[in-house]
């Protein structure tokens, strides 16, 4: 019998005799072809004579189901390639050449696979090495939520704020009026803000910033024309300019992962349950089939840590896989990713005191690139007509030992000469232990765009810190910093701090700091006790001692609500100094109303021989427009939305599970605090909707553009069940139209309702697919602003038809204008039919 081994021996034999007299290479090749053909013919013949069976296949003790197989005379089995792949066997490509009739493989031909056949149970038990089995992907990446609404409505808002301050006897002290105007249309945004100041010495209006912004969500790029702040990095400066800017802004897509995440892999030979622990905290339980598995896109909190995967198979045996890591968070970019900011413009001079004064043309830029998952490089620069500053930077992880950053920069100035600077930093943060170190050095002539011509320049600065903490003992940290100047006072500072949570509501912190400056030493001490009796309410007491004074402070604060409601804060301070004892009392009250924020504050300062008072009153709000609707609301700090709930008044609206207000008589509520680009969860309280109204949904996810206004409609329509009897007049005789379908046209769409015994019909449009299509179009955009229909079928006459005795008969269906909960149309008659 021919076997593969026999074939190989014979092939080697024939190749050896190629050189003998009478044999040529073509003749040898012909013999080889004949041998291979004979082998294939034997295999095909064996397959043809094999016994066909239906067996239950078990792969690595995991049942896969019943399949057709062929049992050959030599005890081998032929199994369809498709079936092998379906049960999870990954076949090497070179095995396809051994397929029988192009679709079956002999189990013995698959390396790494063994089998056992149980004739009593007709079970074929396969045991495969993990490399042959499928790969299970466990992805920790936050999945994009479905049915997210991305609005692009045209909108306008005007923020305003008025602040009045008075001194003793409520005499005038100052008045400030601030404003901000924003216009959004599509991807374009125009913003401008200004301030008016009046006090004892001045009375002036100042324009602050005006700019046009174009955001492209598909490329995550932002283009700005106008006033903006630009920064080139640590060794550069932050400048306020008027000009052009092109930036990569990853936060336009909160689900876009542009930084390295953790990836781990392993394998299991048997069906197992995997428990995945992150720093000893269970984060996921997963069922695993035999084969390889991979953990992807794990983004832990902290830096150094470990991931443990505990595998427990069907026999109760446990295996623990340990994966230590160091996570750099967003300090690094993923391999192949870019981050940049290119800016060109004229510097703003006297910003905040004069509105339209511009200086020299400057540029400011940085560009970073992810070379690998552990290395990010970059370049930064800035300059103007007679000066430029340029240098490289890199950030890298040192395996699991921490993260290191290096940055160099050189400046060229035709007036003051050339200079250089560098910064090196290292940080390690473990589960309990942390360490950081930083060193920066500057030559005397090093400059950046924002530098002024002064001699008070830093020669070098250094800092280091070490910390240790756990839940039981708290956190202890030691820090040291030193600054040396070319001219001016050197400074050294060392501190030790300790914090600990006593209970879930009470924590204590203390700090001792020693400062040496210009040869003088100063000691500072602080201890604070914080108490959170309930969510949003904070009580704090603090004692602080410096070289100049001793202060004791007691404060209480209730945070402002997301929507409407009251908040407050109060502070009492006692200070002891060489000049005497001073008391300060400062209560403050704030009310978030439907149309604005109203604040009032008072500060009393009492010394041994003097008493001073100050008063503050302020109001802030916004006038907004979107979808043809004007309104007033609280200030718009980011984006706002107009929630529309039919014509139902008093429906409570929630933003991210926090109540923000109720709808007015038109069913509207302006929500001024939406987050741009994030997914805002807008919900309505279904219990506030009357029982005779149809409600399409109670929650929406909305992701608006930057500083925009969006319509957020909820389809709420009154349900008035409509019923009656349909009859037709035939040769003067009135007959009921029974058990037929009536077609009716509403808003250019056709829906169908049936008739029953005696011609009775009941119209329920909530189940009509045609009307659901109309409702879907009302779920987005501002279409509700131009439509006043609050019922499924508004009063009026509609065209309808039936097919009666083979002929189409048209008629009119008239819906009366009534507030009755039910509409009885009585008998609807289709007129004479001959």
Residue 680 in any domain: the answer is yes
Domain CATH code at residue 756: 2.60.40.10
Query: Among 5, 75, 80, which residue's Cα sits nearest to residue 39?
Result: 5
148-149 and 699-702: which strand pairing?
parallel
- Does 106 lie in the same domain as 50? yes
Give the domain range for residue 712. Answer: 624-718
- In 747-806, the DSSP E strands lie at 749-754, 760-763, 796-804
Rg (CA), the chain: 39
Helix-helix angle 25-48:4-16, to 10 degrees: 170
Is 251 among the domain residues? Answer: no
Domain assignment present for residue 551? The answer is no
DSSP-derived secondary structure letter, 675: P
pLDDT of residue 785: 56
Under-70 pLDDT residues of the chain: 1-49, 96-98, 100-102, 452-455, 767-774, 784-792, 833-834
Same domain, 666 and 728: no
Asked whether 472 and 500 are in contact (CB, 8 A), the reply is no
Mark whether 662 and 742 lie in a shared domain.
Answer: no
The last residue of a domain, from among 281, 311, 327: 327
Phi, psi of 127 (to 5 degrees): -125, 115
Q: Say if residue 39 is in the same domain as residue 22.
A: yes
Q: Are 440 and 459 in contact (CB under 8 A)?
A: no
Q: Residue 40 falls within a domain, yes or no?
A: yes
In terms of DSSP bridges, do strands 537-545 and 549-558 run parallel, antiparallel, or are they unpaired? antiparallel
User: What residues contact 184, with CB distance under 8 A and at least 6 apart?
Assistant: 153, 154, 155, 156, 705, 707, 708, 709
User: Which CATH number do you get for residue 654?
Assistant: 2.60.40.2610
Beta pairing partners, 522: 515
Coil, helix or strand at residue 678: coil
Let me know whether 32 and 84 are in one domain: yes
192 located within any domain: no
The verdict on 637 and 726 lying in the same domain is no
DSSP 144: P
Give the CB-side neighbour count of residue 214, counting CA atoms within 13 A.
6
Residue 317 lies in a domain: yes
* Pair (712, 748) in one structural domain: no
645 and 682 fall within a common domain: yes
240, 229 contact by CB (below 8 A): yes
- Coil, helix or strand for 732? coil
Is position 496 within any domain?
A: no
Q: Are residues 669 and 729 in the same domain?
A: no
Among 718, 739, 763, identify where a domain stops. Answer: 718
Domain count, the chain: 4
320 near 352, Cβ under 8 Å? Answer: no
> Are 685 and 731 found together in one domain?
no
- 706 and 749 both lie in a single domain: no
Gap between the Cα atoms of 19 and 31, Å rounded = 15
CATH of the domain at 19: 3.10.20.410
Reported as type and span, the H/E element at residue 48 is helix 25-48
Alpha carbon 791 to its chain's center? 38
Contacting residues for 760 by C-beta, under 8 A, at least 6 apart: 723, 724, 725, 726
Angle at Cα 729 formed by Cα 723 and Cα 730, nearest 5°? 140
Please, what is the Cα angle at 466 between 462 and 470, to 5 degrees?
155
User: What are the backbone dihedrals phi and psi of residue 26, each rounded to the nearest 5 degrees, phi first?
Assistant: -60, -40
| 750 and 709 inside one domain | no
Any domain includes 57? yes
DSSP state of 262: E
Which CATH number fits the domain that encloses residue 323? 2.60.40.3110
Looking at residue 767, its pLDDT comes to 67
Mapping DSSP onto H, E and C, the string for 610-627 reads CEEEEEEEEEEEEEEEEC
Nearest alpha-carbon partner for 824 in 763, 743, 740, 771: 763
The model's pTM: 0.80
Q: Is 284 helix (H, G, I), strand (E, B) or coil?
A: strand
Q: CA–CA separation, 537 vs 556, rounded Å?
A: 8
Reading phi first (left if > 0) and then psi (alpha if -120 to 50, else beta), residue 316 is in left
Cα–Cα dist 262/284, whole Å: 15
Question: Looking at the DSSP assignment, which residues form a beta bridge with residue 587?
Answer: 570
Quick check: 392 and 377 in contact, CB under 8 A?
yes
Q: Are 50 and 78 in contact (CB under 8 A)?
A: yes
- Residue ending a domain, choose from 689, 718, 747: 718
């Amino acid at each position: 019998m021919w076997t593969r081994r026999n074939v190989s021996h014979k092939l080697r034999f024939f190749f050896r005799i190629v050189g003998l007299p009478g044999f040529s290479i073509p003749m040898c090749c012909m013999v080889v072809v004949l041998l291979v053909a004979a082998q294939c013919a034997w295999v095909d013949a064996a397959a043809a004579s094999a016994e066909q069976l239906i067996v239950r296949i078990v792969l690595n003790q995991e049942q896969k189901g019943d399949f057709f197989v062929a049992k050959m005379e030599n005890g081998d089995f032929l199994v369809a390639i498709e079936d092998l792949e379906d049960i999870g066997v990954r076949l090497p490509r070179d095995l396809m050449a051994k397929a029988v009739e192009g679709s079956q493989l002999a189990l013995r031909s698959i390396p790494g696979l063994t089998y056992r056949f149980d004739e009593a149970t007709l079970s074929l038990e396969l045991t495969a090495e993990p490399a042959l089995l499928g790969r299970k992907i466990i992805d920790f990446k936050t999945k994009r939520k479905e049915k997210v609404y991305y609005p692009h409505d045209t909108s306008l808002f005007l923020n305003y704020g008025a602040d009045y301050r008075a001194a003793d006897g409520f005499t005038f002290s100052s008045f400030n009026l601030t404003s901000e105007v924003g216009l959004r249309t599509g991807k374009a945004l125009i913003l401008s803000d200004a301030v008016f100041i009046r006090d004892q010495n001045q009375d002036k209006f100042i324009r602050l910033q005006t700019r046009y912004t174009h955001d492209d969500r598909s490329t995550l790029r932002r283009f700005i024309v106008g006033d903006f702040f630009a920064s080139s990095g640590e060794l550069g400066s932050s400048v306020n300019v008027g000009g052009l800017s092109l930036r990569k802004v990853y936060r336009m897509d909160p689900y876009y992962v542009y930084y390295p995440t953790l990836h781990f892999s392993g394998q299991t030979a048997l069906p197992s349950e995997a428990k995945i622990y992150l720093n000893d905290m269970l984060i996921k339980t997963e069922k695993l089939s035999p084969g390889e598995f991979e953990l992807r896109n794990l983004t832990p909190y902290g830096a150094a840590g470990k991931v443990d995967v505990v595998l427990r198979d069907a026999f109760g045996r446990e295996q623990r896989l340990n994966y230590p890591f160091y996570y750099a968070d967003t300090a690094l970019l993923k391999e192949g990713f870019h981050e940049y900011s290119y800016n060109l413009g004229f510097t703003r001079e006297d910003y905040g005191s004069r509105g339209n004064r511009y200086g020299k043309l400057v540029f400011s830029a940085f560009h970073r690139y992810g070379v690998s998952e552990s290395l990010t490089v970059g370049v930064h620069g800035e300059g103007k007509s007679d000066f430029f500053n340029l240098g490289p930077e890199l950030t890298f992880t040192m395996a699991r030992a921490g993260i290191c950053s290096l940055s160099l920069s050189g400046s060229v100035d035709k007036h003051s000469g050339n200079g250089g600077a560098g910064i090196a930093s290292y940080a390690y943060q473990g589960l309990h232990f942390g360490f950081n170190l930083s060193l920066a050095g500057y030559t005397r002539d090093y400059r950046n765009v924002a530098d002024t011509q002064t001699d008070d320049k830093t020669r070098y600065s250094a800092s280091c810190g070490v910390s240790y903490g756990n839940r039981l003992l708290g956190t202890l940290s030691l820090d040291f910093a030193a600054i040396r100047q070319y001219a001016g006072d050197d400074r050294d500072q060392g501190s030790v701090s300790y914090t600990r949570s006593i209970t879930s509501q009470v924590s204590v912190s203390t700090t001792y700091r020693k400062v040496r400056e210009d040869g003088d030493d100063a000691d500072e001490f602080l201890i604070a006790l914080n108490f959170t009796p309930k969510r949003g309410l904070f009580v704090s007491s603090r004692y602080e001692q410096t070289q100049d004074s001793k202060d004791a402070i007691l404060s209480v604060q209730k945070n402002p609500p997301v929507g409407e409601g009251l908040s407050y804060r109060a502070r009492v301070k006692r200070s002891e100094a060489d000049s005497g004892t001073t008391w300060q009392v400062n209560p403050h009250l704030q009310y978030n109303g439907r149309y604005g924020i109203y604040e009032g504050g008072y500060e009393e300062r009492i010394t041994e021989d003097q008493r001073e008072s100050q008063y503050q009153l302020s109001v802030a709000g916004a006038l907004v427009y979107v979808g043809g609707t004007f309104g007033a609301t609280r200030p718009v700090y980011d984006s706002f939305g107009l929630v529309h709930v039919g014509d139902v008044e008093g429906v409570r609206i929630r933003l991210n599970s926090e109540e923000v207000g109720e709808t007015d008589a038109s069913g509207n509520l302006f929500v001024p605090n939406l987050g741009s680009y994030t997914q805002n969860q807008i919900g309505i309280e279904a219990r506030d909707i009357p029982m005779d109204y149809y409600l399409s949904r109670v929650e929406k996810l909305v992701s608006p553009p930057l500083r925009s206004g969006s319509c957020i409609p909820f389809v709420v329509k009154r349900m008035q069940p409509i019923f009656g009897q349909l009859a037709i007049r035939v040769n003067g005789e009135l007959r009921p139209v029974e058990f037929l379908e009536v077609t009716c046209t509403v808003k250019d769409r056709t829906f169908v309702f049936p008739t029953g015994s005696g011609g009775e019909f009941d119209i329920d449009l909530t189940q009509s697919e045609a009307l659901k299509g109309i409702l879907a179009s009302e779920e987005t955009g501002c279409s509700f602003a131009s439509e006043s229909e609050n019922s499924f079928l508004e009063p009026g006459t509609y065209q309808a038809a039936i097919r009666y005795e083979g002929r189409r008969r048209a008629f009119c269906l008239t819906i009366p204008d009534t507030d009755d909960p039910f509409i009885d149309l009585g008998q609807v008659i289709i007129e004479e039919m001959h």
